[in-house]
Structure 1
């Protein structure tokens, strides 16, 4: 599988991206992020649970889904997201999983989506309520043949019930660091968590983080500031961000990680819009080695 996340906050819209994205070898695209509104106070059964993707009209979403389907690519709505996960857990912590999933189902049906990607990244708000929510999602969508996937990482697994982890069709492992880290995380899920290897997808970054992990820059921005950045996995000392050092995945490491992902379920990209143009596109490196 080759899974790409497509965010809604890069200055364009999904309709315009549909004519620009390279769908070559892509199998799944996750629209990030779809969420309900924040409750005004305590969430109740009367709270607004209507899902939407911020800044995207229904027509934008439909246009993109049509183009992706024409290319043979499945499209999922990714719910939650870093920070946005609070908009999901506010409901399941209030015991409102059934009502929330019913609302999610309306959105999935309306836009002819192929499933749901659960992106809850807050370990302090998982536990039993998260497990109930995942089961509710599975019970709603799996009988209709729709996909249920998740973005996961080793740091959250002590809080995520194993019963929930093993209900996903496949998991996208958020390893946005080194190749050594990728090896560790993939073995953790296959050996420690006993997830079948073909259901574990290796996440790779199209961005870099500074050494204190307090700032991120798109790979395209890094390459523009350091034209030879594609040769290595760390740059610094230039004009970008006062010369801070940034770690990322350059071309050689991306090729190695792609080959590693092929030994499992494939590769996931966060996120497609951060890539650099040819001749140093990381997506092209993945496609070449996939």
Structure 2
């Protein structure tokens, strides 16, 4: 998936070209359940990285076995897809804050390294958000980066622009790839603020923030794309996947909202907006795009992943 993230000097020209030019498609997949069953519908030929979200330790820093992960990694590697374990998440266990502290950090880092060895993973995705990006974040990222580099593994991150001030330049410089979570500008937690949660304008602003204001090279930035909808209204679900939206409402794939008169409105990204975001990312020479999350897609002709792949191949 990322053949050129090694910091070691290379003499051959081709790997360097691939490092710069290969456009990445990173898809997140939930870690719950049997990882051999759920991804059966995912076409690995259309992604470059698979991030398993979320694999967290217990309060002592121990990682429990993950059913089906070893087999999934083997299947992905057979199709040249890299697999990365994403830790933390939007609603992580609070004890992770303790594991980031100096007296426990070594145990957490050691556990993560062992996780990559056990399942032959290609790296770790640090998805610490909100107040988890605290005074211990930089030191944790520094220690984890050093340990992963010794194993020739990747370290990536998921970041939110609203929380940018919490990320130090030193920490950001250590990540091989940075996934910009350009979505969730509103949602069910803000019922008083109904509306779109992932506009094209926000994608432009988010990318510009990290690329220009935070001075991160475009090739290390990955623009996040949502495969889900939020519903605002008294008589509709708070959330649906893109696949559910287009199955329920023919033609929904062509627009970014679907109103049910007297009930409420769903907001999401239809193909025209995702296509525009994809074109923008390529124009800016971004490292690629990230999908949250793969199982939110539709099948067949309405698949966003298929459409992204066709666009990239053209």
User: Which TM-score bucket, shorter chain as reference?
Assistant: 0.7 to 0.9
Change (3 A) 1:85 1:149: farther
Aligned to 1:90: 98
Deviation of residue 113 (structure 1)?
0.4
Are 1:34 and 2:50 counterparts?
A: no
Aligned counterparts of 1:4 and 1:94: Cα–Cα separation in 2: 32
What TM-score do you get using the length of structure 2 for normalisation? 0.81
CA root-mean-square deviation: 1.9
Aligned counterparts of 2:136 and 2:180: Cα–Cα separation in 1: 22
Aligned to 2:10: none
Aligned to 1:169: 176
Aligned counterparts of 1:246 and 1:182: Cα–Cα separation in 2: 19
Aligned counterparts of 2:307 and 2:73: Cα–Cα separation in 1: 25
Aligned counterparts of 1:3 and 1:85: Cα–Cα separation in 2: 25
Alignment of structure 1 residues 272-283 onto 2, 5 Å: 272-283=294-305
Aligned to 1:50: 62
Range with greater deviation from structure 2 (88-97 or 148-157):
88-97
Aligned to 1:42: none
Please give the secondary structure, in 2, of the residue aligned with 1:127.
coil
Q: Residue 225 of structure 2: which of 201, 204, 207 is its match?
A: 204
Deviation of residue 8 (structure 1)?
2.6
Please give the secondary structure, in 2, of the residue aligned with 1:183.
helix
Per-residue CA deviation, residues 83-135 of structure 1 (Å, 9 max, x unaligned), is 1263432311464111111011111101000000000112x232320111101
Q: Residue 163 of structure 2: which of 156, 160, 180 is its match?
A: 156
Aligned to 2:307: 285
Q: How many residues align?
A: 270
Please give the secondary structure, in 2, of the residue aligned with 1:279.
helix
Per-residue CA deviation, residues 209-259 of structure 1 (Å, 9 max, x unaligned), is 2359x9322111211222111010011216xxx832121110111111112
Are 1:125 and 2:146 counterparts?
A: no
Aligned to 2:212: 191
Range with greater deviation from structure 2 (17-26 or 147-156):
17-26
Per-residue CA deviation, residues 246-284 of structure 1 (Å, 9 max, x unaligned), is 211101111111122223111100000011112211111
Gaps of 5+ in 2: 1-23, 184-197
What TM-score do you get using the length of structure 1 for normalisation? 0.88
Gaps of 5+ in 1: 40-47
Report if aligned partners of 1:18, 1:68 keep a CA contact under 8 Å in 2.
no
